[in-house]
Amino acid sequence: MVGRSERFSFLGKAAVQMIVIGLALLFLVPFYFVIVNSLKSYGDLLTNSASLPAELNFTNFSRAWEIMSYPRAFTNSLIITIFSNIGLVIISSMAAYKMVRTPGKAMNILFILFVSAMVIPFQSIMITLVKVGSIAGLMNSHLGLIICYFGFGVPLNLFLYHGFVKSIPKEIEESAVVDGCNAYGVFWRIVFPLLKPMTVTVVLLNSLWLWNDFLLPSLILSGKELQTIPLATYDFFGQYTKQWDLALAALVLGILPIILLFLSMQKHIVEGITAGSVKG
């Protein structure tokens, strides 16, 4: 009797493992199709898109690299992601710290104002944002786009820091004040280093969003030389519809950097999502 139930549970385990493997393959098949076909010539791709390439053919990649000015698009995406992150970390951590450490209703109301803005869908303010952007001189410049990201990123970033600052004991700061540190010294020398785990989370969550964002940059940036990777890919697809060999190579180039970032930082990203999801 015992033996049978053990055998059953062994079979059950094997079955579960098989199901998981099957599902994982199902999730990976699209990547297989894209990568395999990006290495084929157009003729091979049309005759059989499921097979492995007969020979590795990197000409698609070198052509796509040139046509979409990949190095330029990559640099643009990188600049925007880095500087938006730096600014967001500074302004949100400072504001969150001060808001937590100031007793009273006013700060609570301010905090609720920031957080409730997260319900506003981007599409319901994008039209007037373009108007504000042209009045404020934010259009068609990287700096303008970065400033927009400051505004859109602050609610979530501030929310995440707010929760984290609460868990830091006040006593450390108080002793620093006694030692003659001013408010800025206390924050930058003592509190900010303690916020590091949350800063990692915030930067990674921001990076996934900033790197992949399409709609906002498409409204703000119009010059080709300013294009980010999603914008360059979009244009590329517009020009080379149905030229799948080139298009797929461009797609692989487009997704590669963010996948590498994810694979190298996945532990932190998964932790970040769990931390960020407590907001419900």
Partner 1 sequence: MAKAIKRSKWPEYLVFIGPAMFFFTLIVIIPFLMSMYYSLTDWNGVSSKATFIGLDNFKKIFMDDDLFRKDFWFTIRFTVVSVLLTNLIGFGLAMLLTRKMKLRNVYRTVFFLPNVIGGLLLGFIWQFIFVKGFATVGELTGIGFFQLPWLGDAATAFWGLVIVQCWQFAGYVMVIYIAALINVPKELIEAAHIDGASKWVMLKQITVPLIMPAFTVCFFLSISWCFKVFDLNLSLTKGGPFNSTESVALNIYYEAFRNNRYGLGTAKAFIFFVIVALVTVLQVMYTKKKEVQA
Interacting stretch for partner 1, rule CB under 8 A, among 33-41, 57-65, 66-74, 190-198?
33-41
Cα separation values, 185 from 72, 158, 180, Å: 39, 20, 9
What are the structure tokens assigned to 256, written together?
A: 């590669």
User: Which residue, 128 or 167, has its beta carbon nearer to partner 1?
Assistant: 128
What are the structure tokens assigned to 121, written together?
A: 């869908």
User: Which residue, 191 or 226, has its beta carbon nearer to partner 1?
Assistant: 191
Q: Is 9 in the site for partner 1 (CB under 8 A)?
A: no
Q: Is 221 in the site for partner 1 (CB under 8 A)?
A: no
What are the structure tokens assigned to 48, written together?
A: 């059989």
Contact indicator for 191, 209 with CB cutoff of 8 Å: no
Burial of 26 (0-12, 13-18, 19+ CB in 10 A): exposed
The C-alpha atoms of residue 223 and residue 123 are separated, in whole angstroms, by: 22
User: Which residue, 63 or 276, has its beta carbon nearer to partner 1?
Assistant: 276
The C-alpha atoms of residue 272 and residue 198 are separated, in whole angstroms, by: 8
Q: Which residues contact 234 (CB under 8 A, 6 or more apart)?
A: 214, 218
Residue 71 beta carbon to partner 1: minimum distance, rounded to whole angstroms: 18
User: Which residue, 153 or 226, has its beta carbon nearer to partner 1?
Assistant: 153
42-71 mask for partner 1 (x: CB under 8 A)?
A: ---x--xxx---------------------
- Residues numbered 143-182 forming contacts with partner 1, rule: CB under 8 A: 147-148, 150-152, 154-155, 158
Interacting stretch for partner 1, rule CB under 8 A, among 28-36, 54-62, 64-72, 163-171?
28-36
Q: Is 280 in the site for partner 1 (CB under 8 A)?
A: yes
Interacting stretch for partner 1, rule CB under 8 A, among 2-10, 52-60, 171-179, 212-220?
212-220
Q: Is 84 in the site for partner 1 (CB under 8 A)?
A: no
- Residues numbered 232-271 forming contacts with partner 1, rule: CB under 8 A: 233-234, 237, 244, 247-248, 251, 254-255, 258-259, 261-263, 266, 269-270
- Residues numbered 188-207 forming contacts with partner 1, rule: CB under 8 A: none
The C-alpha atoms of residue 238 and residue 204 are separated, in whole angstroms, by: 30
- Residues numbered 95-154 forming contacts with partner 1, rule: CB under 8 A: 95, 97-99, 102, 110, 114, 117, 119-129, 131-132, 136, 147-148, 150-152, 154
What are the structure tokens assigned to 257, written together?
A: 């950097």
Residue 30 beta carbon to partner 1: minimum distance, rounded to whole angstroms: 5
What is the CA 31 to chain-centroid distance, rounded? 20
Read off the DSSP letter of residue 40.
Answer: S
What is the CA 147 to chain-centroid distance, rounded? 17
What are the structure tokens assigned to 56, written together?
A: 């590795």
Contact indicator for 188, 173 with CB cutoff of 8 Å: no
